[in-house]
Amino acid sequence: MASYLPIADDEKGYELDLFCVPRHYENDLEKVIIPHGLIMDRTERLARDIIQDMGGHHIVALCVLKGGYKFFADLLDYITALNQNSDKSVPLTVDFIRVKSYCNDKSTNSVKVIGGDELSSLSGKNVLIVEDIVETGRTMQTLLSLLSECNPKMVKVVSLLVKRTPRSSGYRPDYIGFEVPDAFLVGYALDYNEYFRDLSHICILNDQAKEKYKV
Ligand code: IMP
Ligand code: MG
């Protein structure tokens, strides 16, 4: 069974001119690598797989901000649609935490977790962590070890993207949308120093832009 959609290292992607890209980013992007429509189609199927595995019991969907917010909103829309159109359904509640580990295009060693309800409220629940991208896997491993202290009934992780990189710790989420090449990606809430969240397709950033938006 296919568990993720691979995007090859030599994937040519799509010319920016073929899609609608905000004017202010026109010179910052190399190409579109995952168009918005494809993200939505893949997300719809992830929702179905998740409900099949986790749908027996109250689900708490935990959004990892900020990068996860678009994927979280779209995934939950699909899950809600399934929940309201079938004989069996489960309550779905949401929570949000913020994690910061990046500066420019580099992962830093410290992973900071900020906000969210008391994690103890997750005790006995089926928790679904919703993340934008897994690179080294450090963020998710930190979060999972924090969560395990709260005795949830079940914890599953869904990440829209997983990067193929030698920097990976080997960690793999339970559900994966796409496996992507080792490049810095932006758009669909993925940012570079807070820019590019307002871009609906997932794109590869060019080197000139890395300089331009550097902090
Ligand atoms: P990890 O801890 O190395 O797995 O990194 C995960 C976090 O780094 C993600 O949640 C993102 O916020 C950020 N990140 C990693 N790669 C990218 C990228 O290509 N574009 C934007 N953010 C990224
Ligand atoms: Mg993230």
Going by the DSSP 8-state scheme, the letter that residue 174 receives in this structure is: S
pLDDT of 109 reads 63
Going by the DSSP 8-state scheme, the letter that residue 175 receives in this structure is: E
Q: Is the CB of 196 under 6 A from ligand 1?
A: no
Cα of 189 from ligand 2 centre, angstroms: 9
Taking a C-beta distance cutoff of 8 angstroms, is the pair 23, 195 a contact? no
Q: What is the pLDDT along the chain (215 residues), one digit of tens a residue?
A: 569 999 999 999 999 999 999 999 999 999 999 999 999 999 999 999 999 988 888 899 999 998 889 999 999 999 999 988 888 888 899 999 888 766 667 766 667 777 766 777 888 889 999 999 999 999 999 899 888 888 999 999 999 999 999 999 999 999 999 999 999 999 999 999 999 999 999 999 999 999 999 99
- Calculate Rg over the CA atoms of the chain: 17
Could you tell me the pTM of the whole model?
A: 0.93
Q: Is the CB of 188 under 6 A from ligand 1?
A: no
Q: State the first-to-last Cα distance of the chain, in angstroms, to the nearest integer.
A: 43
Q: Is the CB of 199 under 6 A from ligand 1?
A: no
Q: Is the CB of 159 under 6 A from ligand 1?
A: no
Question: 164-187, pLDDT tens digit by residue?
Answer: 999 999 999 999 999 999 999 999
Residues linked to residue 153 through DSSP beta bridges, in sequence order: none
Which amino acid residue places its CA nearest to atom 14 of ligand 1?
A: 133
- Choose which residue among 34, 99, 131, 133 to substitute to test ligand 1 binding: the one with the highest number of ligand atoms within 8 A of its C-beta: 133
Of all residues in the chain, the percent with pLDDT exceeding 90 is 72
Question: 81-102, pLDDT tens digit by residue?
Answer: 998 888 888 889 999 988 876 6
